[in-house]
Structure 1
């Protein structure tokens, strides 16, 4: 039923049968302002490398950001908007994002707990060796850290769990976020 509701909202938005009100758009903007702020803030835990747009994000970086955003949206944002937007499709989208996002929290908790005991940080010698072999030392160092992180992440959350549980939830979350983006920006010609 919830996928049907998402499809109904997306269709109504696309056909312009639902035109979000200024209040609904304010909720969407508040959601994305939190996303943008958290992306710019230092990572948690503090020794986690920062998110950089030119490098592929590690799973722990994505899930750490998701966990912080989820806590803010569920604990701070939704309580402010439930009264003014009762029965609103925009409120439903944010609530659905929280509901699906809850499925990712155990994965975030596992990775963050493991990071606190044994983070995958290359030694200075490993970095130097990798950089010596490459034309672009910065790229080589980033790729080494990414490879090490991927191996470590698979050790903490095996590939079968990532494929069968985490990725489907992340895809459902992306669908909700896509409709939420369209509703917030008014860009519904997708």
Structure 2
């Protein structure tokens, strides 16, 4: 049973009444909920992804000046892996800012070159649940942004991380300041 205190304030010169009521409140009506597991971080430096390779992204930081957050345990900023502190449904997002290594040949078409960004569980992108987005590269040398977002169910102790699968015939650079985040939605 939750007790609710009601305070009534009156104009200057009048008394302030305080009464206490016993009232059972529905837990769903509570106005605040605590986020138990969440983070939002950015890549610390530019990351080069060689042609025709798949690479796990590493070396993140949490820019406190921009009010990004980190709640709970599990985030390893060096390895780029987020270990679920509790089993449940997590929403993940990765937003990468990318430049191709073909800047001198800007007018050249990149058609037919493909890029995949994945958020994988246990670094096993082929065998476990993962989130994936695929982009066909249209022109070389341009800065572009690619995002992947979705919900994954994770067991306590499993980790998730961001991978870039560069199927293009040239090196790509993930710009520093690219984002990776997650929030525990529920169990």
The interval holding the TM-score normalised by the smaller chain is under 0.3
Q: Which has the larger radius of gyration?
A: 2
Q: How high is the TM-score relative to the length of structure 2?
A: 0.25
Q: How high is the TM-score relative to the length of structure 1?
A: 0.25
Greater percentage in strand:
2
